[in-house]
Structure 1
Amino acid sequence: FTYVDQRTMDVLDTIHSENPDVNLTVNLLNQQWSCDCAIKPFKDWMTTTKVHLMGMGKYRCYDGANFHKHIINLSDSEMCGAHVDSSVQAGVVVVIVLLVIIALVLVGVLIVYRNRLTSLARGVRKSLVRNSHAQYSSVDKSPLTADA
């Protein structure tokens, strides 16, 4: 296995607390530990448990950025650094997707208003280009015409 789950740690602590006279020793040497955020509870338990862990100082990471490092010496940032990086990457992806959606909405709004502005401009142009005919009357009652 690559880590010890919380239930197993609780069971080992319970066995030890119910039988304090028994020297409970657990051998977890030569395990292929995966040293990411999932191992943090185990590392914390290693430093607080009364259960004797055989060769505890020899437990090493088997893979990842912490390869061959001793579990007991890992800092929280070393264990969870990759996890934080992946959440930052996920945040960047979300922001990019939102920006693309906003850009598409803006383009759609511009297209809609462009069509409206174009049709409005056509109406104004038609009213300006339209031939107007005005008729005037003189004092002598003969009609005068003028093309505008």
Structure 2
Amino acid sequence: MNKRLIEAVELFEDVMVYGTERVMKSLDDPIWKEYSPEQIEVLKMIGKHGQMPAGQLASMQCVHKSAISNRLKKLQEKELVRIVKSTEDQRTKLVELTEAGKEVVKQSDKVLYEYIEKLFSNRIGDEELDQFVMMFRKIKEILKLDGV
């Protein structure tokens, strides 16, 4: 197997694991203390993709449907999501964000972006950031195509 590809995969895994851990531990904002990272991730997914079935959320988070049901129940209790019937098929139930849920996503994004900006400032130049963005756009497109 190609050694550079192996190194790339290992680096990607390291950034995902250690980066997530470091960022989550470093975000000093009440919103990141009130909600679990998994709950915020659910809110972000719904915010990004719009209404969706709970099963699709489970698939996207790579967890069992019972785990998503539990997360959604807690988010419903906090009035951040609601369950609605699909306009196309009344038997299908979809999860959508409430206005409060949209605000949580907006606030969590703001805190995260500010932290990353501070972390990267004076360490990553504009050209490196452009290369990073270009590469991740390409990887995203490849992954999206492969998932079809």
Which TM class, normalised by the smaller chain length? under 0.3
Structure richer in strand, relative to its length: 1
Structure richer in helix, relative to its length: 2
Could you say which structure has the larger radius of gyration? 1
Q: TM-score, normalised by structure 1?
A: 0.24
Q: TM-score, normalised by structure 2?
A: 0.24
More relative contact order, 1 or 2 (CA 8 Å, 6+ apart) = 2
